[in-house]
Amino acid sequence: MMRLSLVVPCYNEVEVIERFHDAVGHELADIGRPYEIVYVDDGSTDGTLDALVRLADADPTVRYLSFSRNFGKESAMLAGLRYASGDAVVIMDADLQHPPELIGRMLKLYERGFDQVIARRNRVGDPATRTLFARAYYWLINKWADVELMDGVGDFRLLSRRAVDGLLELGEYNRFSKGLFAWIGFESILFEYDNVKQPERKSRWTFRRLVEYGLDGLLSFNNRPLRLAIYVGLLLTAVAAAYAVWVIAVAVLRGVEMPGYVTLIAAITGLGGLQMVMLGVIGEYIGRIYYETKKRPHYLLKQTNLNPADRPATTDDRGRTVP
């Protein structure tokens, strides 16, 4: 019989983790398939690990991994996928914004032969400005990126075993899962669900984090910003050449006049700012290369209830075993 794995990244979820586990447990019991729940504690500081240990003591289907510090959600998802043993794997958040009752629907679509069953939330209840900026971002990034990213699509999805194995072959350090899910391809199907708001919990997605996440998506799957620097440089060179011809023509026809200091200062300031932006773009790419060449592991485990025999034998491109 097909075995199901749930991968649940957790960071400071002590207030909600037991409610989440009860809700998921009731849903999976109704489905009637063998399953495991792989919780990944991403270096929580609020007692989440203690709560996971209690859940594991009371429920034999619970597996947990705990990081030595906070490595980020991308690393938590990667760890969960590496240790998940199911034929199908569902990734979902622990804050109940991903409705557990959709798992059954995902399984039915998986049984029809789809390797990725993607749940896309609508934006009902979101502020109008956030919706506008999100749609503008996805329009822009899909003009630039090498893969198509869909508005409202996140990590909540079911993956077949071969889709999971495909993701695990992608060993880059700087991971942007939305792009990786799209990059591996395979047969996919998408359905929408109503946005779930948790009024008692403040969102961790601040404006700064959203901007940084957007930049990750923009830079992770294309080199067009670097190519744009070439085009902008050629354009400015052409403008400078035309301006030089115009200055020479005016000097020949009217004589030399008092130079335009305002124009000169504005040009120097504008070009200097543009050069700094281009250097910043180049620096982002170089920084990513820098981290990739270090070959550091994506995470370090501090505690787990998994047996040593369950540890995946994953190797990097140098043949070294990595966690």
In degrees to the nearest 10, what's the CA dihedral of 301, 306, 310, 311?
Answer: 10
Q: Cα separation of 57 and 34, whole Å? A: 18
- The predicted pLDDT at position 214 comes to 60
Q: Determine whether 267 is exposed, middle or buried from the number of CB atoms within 10 Å of its CB (0-12, 13-18, 19+).
A: middle
Written as six digits, the tokens of 228 are 């744009």
Three-class SS of residue 220?
A: helix
| Among 205, 211, 207, 218, CA closest to 178 | 218
Q: Contact 107/178 with Cβ under 8 angstroms? A: no
Q: Cα separation of 27 and 47, whole Å? A: 26
- The predicted pLDDT at position 321 comes to 38
Q: How many CA atoms lie within 13 A of 314 on its CB side?
A: 20
| Among 153, 181, 15, 26, CA closest to 37 | 26
Helical (H) or strand (E) element with 8: strand 4-10
Instruction: Return phi, psi of residue 38, to 5°.
Output: -105, 105
- The predicted pLDDT at position 1 comes to 66
Scored b (16 or more CB within 10 A) or e, 137-148 reads bbeebeeebebe
Q: Contact 39/65 with Cβ under 8 angstroms? A: yes
Q: Contact 214/135 with Cβ under 8 angstroms? A: no
Written as six digits, the tokens of 173 are 């350090």
Concatenating the DSSP letter of every residue in 144-177 gives HSSS---TTEEEEEEEEHHHHHHHHT---SS--H
Task: Give residues with Cβ within 8 angstroms of 230, minimum separation 6.
Answer: none
Three-state DSSP string of 234-296:
HHHHHHHHHHHHHHHHHHHHHCCCCCCHHHHHHHHHHHHHHHHHHHHHHHHHHHHHHHHHHCC
User: Digits of tens for pLDDT over the chain (323 positions)?
Assistant: 678 888 999 988 888 888 888 888 888 888 878 888 899 998 888 888 888 888 888 888 888 898 888 888 888 888 888 888 888 899 998 888 888 888 888 888 888 888 888 888 776 666 667 667 667 766 666 666 666 666 667 788 899 888 888 888 887 777 777 778 887 878 888 888 876 665 555 555 555 666 666 666 566 666 666 667 667 777 777 777 777 677 667 666 776 565 665 566 667 766 776 777 777 777 777 777 777 777 778 888 888 888 655 555 444 443 333 44
Dihedral over Cα of 105, 110, 113, 114: its sign = positive
Three-class SS of residue 88?
A: strand
